[in-house]
Structure 1
């Protein structure tokens, strides 16, 4: 009788997609896998409704169980940060999760793997007679090392970290981190509800039996060693860390998928090798109309080929309500400078809202990637061996930028992000630097080396395969 692994992802494409890839690792080892999904509180690509459908199509051997819905909070009318409302909703689903888990015979239930933001589900496992529960971190080990050490740093502080500005903070296992680069919500006063709640989540995530991380050991060796060091959190023994990544999808078949996929890949087929710059900023990456036009001017002046995914604009990318659904696609003609599409038609392609990013990054024509530094995108860039221009927007992305540029050696930064506006001159300069100079060539060489390391980690006997086997053994022998 096969054992069943239950996966419980957080809301959002950045959490659902890598957990879907983790499911494949279990399926390949002969386990049954069920992913339990909380119904998105509103229809939005950012919260993963469409991604769940793609996930089901890509993983026909995996069961998907959508929990019976609970009325969603009033996101638009509430004064609370949307993230707090989502966490509150997730806690309300604990009873439904428990009911579902009880429907699986105990002897068949192998383990419950929860997202790093679903830590309240640890209580559910406890009610079921000690079901093995593990935390899955879709971010990297470096970010995890910082977030794990933050509660100790914040303990006893009478003020927030915002006042420290760019003062560099020392954390075990990572380069010195400017205080301003931490997750924005963690810069507030430690007694503020959002800051306090997030710190408690990071602490609780380390209370499970182990932590699966979407990375490979050689990419973030210092951070992984720090998470295994007793000095990481004085007085607390951290659980085992299993580096099981990179968990990256294989892309779509050339003759399948939708029109956008076929259009993008057909266009790339006509471009010279390593000549195209991909610009894509994740499921929630949005810019003001002014910034969008500035990007266009810089791209045009650079003279290089580009494939640019343009999403809806946002007056303020720091607006916490960016999670709210957008009702329409961007009006490309209105957003871009007059005549831009006509002038660049022989060397550029602008697509609305979505592109097959994994397929595009792995296409021979793609030579660089302008990214928001979300971890899924970072892993996709690393596994494709494509150097990156780092333009972080929100969440832990500024931290990732530090790791990518200073530790991993796979990216260079777009400095304008610090002021919230990247000028056309910098866009032009950085694209040229990456595509034309010795600096860019060195970056491409390092990116290619990281790609080989990623491939080696996933082979039989590789570090990530060995970590996953060790995890399975630890569950069996707990």
Structure 2
């Protein structure tokens, strides 16, 4: 949301002010507070409205972490109403932009006569799936987690196993499933959907969505592709891993990183280490282990002698690295990724080809599209029955495919061409620049909203 706010302010010369409604989460860290403070200092036109803390029932009747989170967000509806009323006393609210999980705010804004838009932070392919999910819900009566031989068939997407649906959708008996159905059903009831993608990246899904195939019984709202929206790589400097990359040959390093939730078991860590060593590739590996322990002794965790044998051609970093800056570095030639959409876009913008290792959320859907439609990633064979496990031999093979083979060379060339398309999308009159201009024109002249719908 902050990056979207920056984008609006940059392109339209601060003609808007941005207020971000910020839920107070008991799990907020000092990093959250310092980030918010930094943004308010560097971007005075962006302000934050902090909600008071609400309590949520965590009893066993709520079955999952996702369901608890969704309920926590819903309980903030009163805070949303109060904040919108207060802001309206001193400003004209041109639009409310909400996340998918904040759908409970949509009817509130509707009552107040405020146009409401979704900012869909995954890609158009997942948007197609979510728009179509109410149809799938009527077609398939069992929990997806129990369907081992059934494929999901969704317009605009390659078929994929039902068990690869996003986690909150897997179990019909979990309240999270009902929440997701509610969220997805209301996407088509908004005034428009902003998507963090660009036309040339996902033409198949976008064509299907705009044709109305994903919501056959509703009117598809206007779609605004305003991506790729990623963080600025120049905001991360002075990190030790960047200094190490400075000493490596061009396009020679494989970067491994599995996102904020991508922790690994000790057994999987050893398999990755063995695969990296036998592949012979240079590597930068951001390591998180189950439990989030950052003071772990790498000599104990890794195969005996691994760190010594790979000195000079490999670097293991515990917990965190500046991913955007790393992917943008001249030395990085490949990316082993969990297929989170932010990570995918950051690789696209940097022109770095991928090895797809999805772990959770919508990442298995992203993998299917990356491999089969975009042809920008090499898939890894994973053992679903024990947590998407990947063997050392499999990782070694795919790294060699990426870095040393003719198909890998073609993948690198395709990734570089897509990078150029990503840059072109934000040039003047590029597809994303034009989409944002149309959206802002609607916000400036609300009468056009009625005609558009």
Go from structure 1 to structure 2 and tell me whether the alpha carbon gap of 1:387 and 1:49 turns closer, same or farther (over 3 Å shift). Answer: farther
Please name the residue that 2:192 is paired with.
210
1:169 aligns with 2:152: yes
1:114 aligns with 2:81: no
| 8 Å contact from structure 2 (residues 285, 315) kept in 1 | yes
Please name the residue that 1:292 is paired with.
269
Matches within 5 A, 1:262-301: 262-301=239-278
1:232 aligns with 2:214: yes
Go from structure 1 to structure 2 and tell me whether the alpha carbon gap of 1:216 and 1:153 turns closer, same or farther (over 3 Å shift). Answer: same
Please name the residue that 2:8 is paired with.
26
Please name the residue that 2:25 is paired with.
40
> How far apart are 1:244 and its partner, in Å?
0.5
Please name the residue that 2:338 is paired with.
372
Go from structure 1 to structure 2 and tell me whether the alpha carbon gap of 1:53 and 1:399 turns closer, same or farther (over 3 Å shift). Answer: farther
TM-score normalised by the chain length of structure 1? 0.86
Separation in 1, partners of 2:316, 2:371: 27
Please name the residue that 1:390 is paired with.
356
> How far apart are 1:44 and its partner, in Å?
5.7
Matches within 5 A, 1:194-205: 194-205=176-187
| 8 Å contact from structure 1 (residues 310, 330) kept in 2 | no
| 8 Å contact from structure 2 (residues 62, 68) kept in 1 | no
1:92 aligns with 2:71: no
Please name the residue that 1:362 is paired with.
328
| 8 Å contact from structure 1 (residues 40, 48) kept in 2 | no
> How far apart are 1:304 and its partner, in Å?
1.0
Separation in 2, partners of 1:356, 1:24: 20
> How far apart are 1:185 and its partner, in Å?
3.5
Query: 1:161-203 CA distances to partner (integer Å, 9 max, x unpaired)?
Result: 34442433322112223323222342333x6532222112111
Separation in 2, partners of 1:39, 1:249: 23
Separation in 1, partners of 2:439, 2:250: 40
Separation in 2, partners of 1:342, 1:37: 46
Query: 1:103-130 CA distances to partner (integer Å, 9 max, x unpaired)?
Result: 22365212110001100001221232x1
The alignment partner of 1:456 has SS state of helix
Separation in 2, partners of 1:281, 1:54: 26
> How far apart are 1:218 and its partner, in Å?
1.2
Please name the residue that 1:452 is paired with.
420
Please name the residue that 1:341 is paired with.
307
What is the total number of aligned residue pairs between the two structures?
Answer: 440
Separation in 2, partners of 1:117, 1:194: 11
| 8 Å contact from structure 1 (residues 311, 330) kept in 2 | no
Instruction: Say which is worse superposed, 60-69 or 375-384, in terms of deviation.
Output: 60-69
> How far apart are 1:99 and its partner, in Å?
1.6
| 8 Å contact from structure 1 (residues 34, 64) kept in 2 | yes
Go from structure 1 to structure 2 and tell me whether the alpha carbon gap of 1:262 and 1:327 turns closer, same or farther (over 3 Å shift). Answer: closer
Separation in 2, partners of 1:142, 1:52: 31
Separation in 1, partners of 2:106, 2:267: 45
Match of 2:229 among 247, 253, 261: 247
Please name the residue that 1:13 is paired with.
none
Query: 1:205-230 CA distances to partner (integer Å, 9 max, x unpaired)?
Result: 22111000000011111111111123
> How far apart are 1:160 and its partner, in Å?
2.7
Separation in 2, partners of 1:79, 1:113: 28
Please name the residue that 1:67 is paired with.
51
Separation in 1, partners of 2:184, 2:160: 18
Q: Could you say what the CA RMSD is over the residues aligned between the two structures, in angstroms? A: 2.3
Separation in 2, partners of 1:170, 1:363: 38
> How far apart are 1:57 and its partner, in Å?
6.4
Instruction: Say which is worse superposed, 443-452 or 60-69, in terms of deviation.
Output: 60-69
What runs of 5+ residues in structure 2 fail to find an aligned partner?
Answer: none
Instruction: Say which is worse superposed, 279-288 or 219-228, in terms of deviation.
Output: 219-228
The alignment partner of 1:109 has SS state of coil
Please name the residue that 2:280 is paired with.
303
Separation in 2, partners of 1:216, 1:170: 24
Separation in 1, partners of 2:262, 2:44: 30
Go from structure 1 to structure 2 and tell me whether the alpha carbon gap of 1:446 and 1:48 turns closer, same or farther (over 3 Å shift). Answer: farther
Separation in 1, partners of 2:343, 2:79: 32
The alignment partner of 1:206 has SS state of helix
Go from structure 1 to structure 2 and tell me whether the alpha carbon gap of 1:263 and 1:192 turns closer, same or farther (over 3 Å shift). Answer: closer
Go from structure 1 to structure 2 and tell me whether the alpha carbon gap of 1:60 and 1:49 turns closer, same or farther (over 3 Å shift). Answer: same
Go from structure 1 to structure 2 and tell me whether the alpha carbon gap of 1:53 and 1:385 turns closer, same or farther (over 3 Å shift). Answer: farther
